A and B are shown apart, each in its own frame.
Chain A
Amino acid sequence: GAVVSQHPSWVICKSGTSVKIECRSLDFQATTMFWYRQFPKQSLMLMATSNEGSKATYEQGVEKDKFLINHASLTLSTLTVTSAHPEDSSFYICSARPGQGYQPQHFGDGTRLSIL
């Protein structure tokens, strides 16, 4: 149980385009989902916390207009990288927490984004 699916797994696109990444909890409802970014050989850095039905909470230094997050249902959160540039190239990974209380976060398989 507690499977999180992330799509797409790999994206290559031109500079200036927008890219949408989906994160789905397949067998549980997730009121809270998290989006992380990981540069090569570095740690995961939390970008934002996505709450179903409300605005996402962004970490300091993360541009909310650049990284649009929508959490319209209890099983789906999306991250849109708008007007992507080469410096946005990274590994983006989402996680979801089942139910209430301090259940461990379960992570998707990640999306490798390459902007040319």
Chain B
Amino acid sequence: AQKVTQAQTEISVVEKEDVTLDCVYETRDTTYYLFWYKQPPSGELVFLIRRNSFDEQNEISGRYSWNFQKSTSSFNFTITASQVVDSAVYFCALSEARHNTDKLIFGTGTRLQVFP
């Protein structure tokens, strides 16, 4: 069965601190996709990144970086030098590629609060 676990329910940091949001997934498929979405207080979901299961290269985009490790089934997300605007709920999600469907299985989310 597919499952996404975000063990950290809530994280509070002070501005400029680095913070890592953990994501562990379970799937029986060899081909799958992993995502991170940001949900600010206004409610909309903002797409941050998608990775396919064959690409384990880490990725950096500005202050954001992602560490994908198949050996531990983890896809962790790090924000460097956090800012107040980073405060949001962050969701990790999994999509399996079989059956030509891309249903997203979401984790329970991690609420990040960045204090000035």
Contacts and interface: CB of A to CB of B under 8 A. Distances in A.
B107 A109 contact: no
Interface residues of B, number: 24
Interface string A5-34: 000000000000000000000000000101
Contacts, number: 53
A109 B46 CA distance: 9
Nearest to B101: A49
B91 interface: yes
A104 B50 contact: yes
A69 B62 CA distance: 39
Interface residues on chain A, size class: 20 to 34
Contacts of B108: 42-43
Interface in B35-84: 35, 37, 42-47, 50, 52
Nearest to A57: B101
Interface of B: 33, 35, 37, 42-47, 50, 52, 91, 95, 97, 101-109, 111
19 contacts: A34-B104, A43-B107, A43-B109, A44-B91, A44-B106, A45-B106, A46-B104, A49-B101, A91-B43, A93-B43, A102-B33, A102-B52, A104-B35, A105-B47, A105-B104, A107-B44, A107-B46, A109-B43, A109-B44
